[in-house]
Amino acid sequence: MRGKRIVIAGGGDSAVDWALSLAEVAASITVVHRRDKFRAVPANVAAMQAHPKIALKTPYQLSGLTGEDGELSKIMVSEIGGGPEPLEADTLLALFGLASDLSPLAGLGIDISGKTIAVEASTCETSRTGIHAIGDVADYPGKLKLILTGFSEAATAAHAAHARVFPGKAIHSEYSTTRGVPGISPEPALMSA
């Protein structure tokens, strides 16, 4: 991406985050979005709009690609209701969201509702005993779709699974504050606490 003329299509967090990150190294960044409003963290949208190296094309959409020998040279964009305009570009990033497909799980006999799987929050167990789900796909009242939540659910599910696999056997948690993070010595103050 270094030194490239990059066009990013999309209006969500991914498009905005990549525009800001790649602006540090790219020759130019143009963000094409079919609405004037972006669906992303407001502070990042403001930073993108104020960035001297990021050009915004809104409300625009992609209408074609041109190039030779497999090399992209121009991206055609058009204003909503207007004709095509060329944008000189080396790279196109289309960031229109993730299409997650839960159909491979259909045979497991767990309750799937749209793009989520309902779990019991205290165990992350699905409707089928012994099968747990964690991360964005797992749903329960008050769910927050964050990486932090996914890690927490992994620990919750592992504890519940341990109790099933080793009934009556206690888990003795090892904390990074007392044992240290692998490769990093624990804090002396915490060791003596």
Ligand X SMILES: Cc1cc2nc3c(=O)[nH]c(=O)nc-3n(C[C@H](O)[C@H](O)[C@H](O)COP(=O)(O)OP(=O)(O)OC[C@H]3O[C@@H](n4cnc5c(N)ncnc54)[C@H](O)[C@@H]3O)c2cc1C
Given the rule CB under 6 A, which residues bind ligand X? 13-14, 17, 98, 100-101, 104, 135-137, 145-148, 150
Residue nearest to ligand X (CB): 135
- Hey, is 114 helix, strand or coil? coil
Q: Give least dist CB 78 to ligand X, A.
A: 26
Q: Which is nearer to ligand X, 17 or 85 (CB)?
A: 17
Tokens of 24: 């540090």
CA distances for 82 relative to 41, 58, 62, 63, 65, angstroms:
29, 12, 12, 11, 17
Q: Which is nearer to ligand X, 30 or 116 (CB)?
A: 116
CA atoms within 13 A on the CB side of 48: 29
**What residue has token string 């519940």?**
160
Q: Give least dist CB 167 to ligand X, A.
A: 29
Which parts of the chain are beta strand (E)? 5-9, 28-32, 54-57, 60-68, 71-79, 84-88, 91-94, 112-113, 116-118, 138-139
Q: Give least dist CB 150 to ligand X, A.
A: 5
Q: Which is nearer to ligand X, 150 or 186 (CB)?
A: 150
147 contacts: CB under 8 Å, gap ≥ 6 = none
Q: Give least dist CB 86 to ligand X, A.
A: 29
Q: Which is nearer to ligand X, 22 or 87 (CB)?
A: 22
Q: Give least dist CB 95 to ligand X, A.
A: 9
Q: Which is nearer to ligand X, 93 or 137 (CB)?
A: 137
